[in-house]
A and B are shown apart, each in its own frame.
Chain A
Amino acid sequence: MLGEGIIKGMVETARNFLGSYVREDRLTTVQYPEEREPQIENARQFPFLVYDGEDWETGLRCVACQICEKECPPQCIYIVKSKDKKPDYKGQMQFYPAIFDIDLSVCMSCQICVEVCPFEAIKMDTDYEWSTPDRFAALLVHKDQLARPNAYYQQLHPTDAAASDAVLAQERARAQAKARAAAELKTKAAAPPPTS
């Protein structure tokens, strides 16, 4: 009969209404600033730059290759390459970013910059409390605010960090092996040919 469904619906909403006063578990709302839910490991909010060692300025992994700048869909990364070079984790001389800015108001947390970076230099942070009273300058995040130690990355995303550390270790080992081979070759070349 007409109206049956309406009555059923009204009963259901009445049960919700009354039930929410009786049973706490019906209310799934998290009272945010006081209560927080732990974030899942793969949560991603905003990129940060990883550095090795103690000093963030010398330790930044980023080599200012500008791939992320070109790939970022909303074009919110701005990089200026340095004039000089500094040694990277392999000891190879590389450029570094003189300026590395990300516009927080434009970034859409897509993680594409992370995917394209060949140097494991940019990763996603899980911190989401970036609100500021200033709409413009404060939302342009600079290099010094972006830099985070590798330990922080390991703590945020243990699985990813382990994988990326392994990749870097492998690279480093290969570079060292190559250097050793080159050195051996050199010593071999330098050594007088064996007399027969």
Chain B
Amino acid sequence: MSGVDQLFVQLKHWALARCAGILPEAWQPLVSLLLSIIPLLVIFPTLFAAMVWMERKGLGRIQNRYGPNRVGPFGLLQPAADGIKALIKEDIVPRAADRVVHWLAPVLLVTTAFTVYAVLPFGRNMVVVDLEAGLLFFFAVGTVAELVVFMAGWSSRNKYALLGAMRAVAQMISYEIPLVLSTVTVVMIAGTLSLPQIVLAQSPASGWWPAWFVFTPWGAAGFVLFLIAANAEANRSPFDLPEGESEIIAGYFIEYSGFKFALFFLGEYLSLFAVSALGVTLFLGGWHAPYVVGEWVPSWVWFFLKLLAVLALFIWTRGTLPRLRQDQLMNFAWKFMIPMTLINVVIAALWHWIGSGPVRWLVCSALVIGAYSLLGRGLMRAGRWMPRTYRFAE
């Protein structure tokens, strides 16, 4: 079991030992880091290609279409074809654009998207750096995406790009709060900000109920809230207002073509993977199996299975829900998401305070359901429908 489980860790140690003979001592940490980083730089772009294929196939089937089926068997080589197309396309920069910022935006997006992978544990002993405040680091670096989006929109000198960037900033700032607040519950219960420690707090117990945080009232609510906020952070449908093809024709990356566009695309998906991986780590037990018997499957297999499941959920919602309107978006964030996450923090505190036993299950579940239905009713009532009056058309 531990052989396959620790395969990559052992491989790295072996390679490091090989290098030790050739390279000076001072280079050791650097080589060690490189050996951890390079696999990530290979795996996640590959996952990006796979995800694009899965997404196009999945959306196609949801709409009763075939999806890509021409390039390679089942259209599997479609991402390669897309990549080649993006590479050989002309790179157009508007004459009035701010060239430096215009160039910097996609590069920065991809760089920061990769940076957050440093703190995510992909398997037992498989984390690049075990930061004490890993969760904080994740959010701190992740916020750069907002800056990048605004850089792209501003530097393009295009009204649609700027509108898209404004929308994106408004949306990302609004949803950043519930995103962080929904993870606070986990930090409270696990008592640590380090992601590997949080995973350890969800180690399978001997009982019949898995120890994943999602299998608690506050965890379930937190996970759903986290997914919604993550969806909004990733600018994906139904929160794709900043892109809004039918309104502002791709928003902040309207002026990007060729490989820069591909970089944007890559960056967006990398952030999506990162935030999904964070969701898996925080709520779905990270690389842990639900039960002790499941531990014979290597930890990284568990992790990637869960990651794929979360990604499938993202594709599914994208295929189902239509785009929100700007006021609906803001209403949802400020009147539902934020109160709900705040209440959830209180519920998590109660959960900790009451101590184990059926009482806390009852109290916390009742609180979650009550808060949800009350806030939901408030949100549903918020739309006041009136007959439409036309002032000028009469």
Chain A residues with a Cβ under 8 A of chain B: 1-3, 6, 9-10, 12-14, 16-17, 19-21, 26-29, 31
Contacts and interface: CB of A to CB of B under 8 A. Distances in A.
B66 interface: yes
Contact of A14 (B316, B375, B379): B316
Contact of B376 (A2, A19, A31): A2
A2 B320 contact: no
Contacts of B379: 2
B85 interface: no
B62 A13 contact: yes
A16 B63 contact: yes
B64 A28 contact: yes
Contacts, number: 46
A178 B336 CA distance: 87
A13 B319 contact: yes
A168 to B, nearest CB: 47
B373 interface: yes
Nearest to A2: B376
12 contacts: A1-B376, A1-B377, A2-B373, A2-B376, A3-B376, A6-B321, A16-B61, A16-B62, A16-B63, A20-B64, A27-B64, A27-B66
Given A2-B372, A9-B321, A20 B61 contact: yes
A21 B66 contact: no
A10 B62 CA distance: 10
**Chain B interface residue bracket vs A:** 20 to 34
Contact of A21 (B61, B336, B377, B380): B61
Given A9-B321, A13-B319, 4 more contacts: A3-B376, A16-B63, A20-B64, A29-B66
A27 B66 CA distance: 7
A136 B377 CA distance: 62
Contacts of B319: 13, 17
B99 interface: no
A3 B336 CA distance: 12
A16 B317 contact: no
Contacts of B66: 27, 29, 31
Nearest to A18: B61
Interface string B294-333: 0000000000000000000000110111000000000000
A2 B380 CA distance: 7
Interface of B: 58, 61-66, 316-317, 319-321, 336, 372-373, 375-377, 379-380
Contacts of A31: 66
Contact of B64 (A9, A10, A26): A26
Contacts of A2: 336, 372-373, 375-377, 379-380
B60 to A, nearest CB: 8
Contacts of B58: 17
A14 B375 CA distance: 28
Contacts of A3: 376
Contacts of A20: 61, 64
A167 to B, nearest CB: 45
Contact of B320 (A1, A6, A19, A21): A6
Contact of B373 (A1, A6, A13): A1
Contacts of B65: 27, 29
Given A26-B64, A29-B65, A13 B316 contact: yes
The 7 closest A-B CB pairs, nearest first, are A2-B376, A13-B320, A9-B320, A17-B61, A13-B62, A20-B61, A26-B64
A28 B61 CA distance: 11
Contacts of B320: 6, 9-10, 12-13
Nearest to A8: B320
Contacts of B377: 1-2
B378 to A, nearest CB: 9
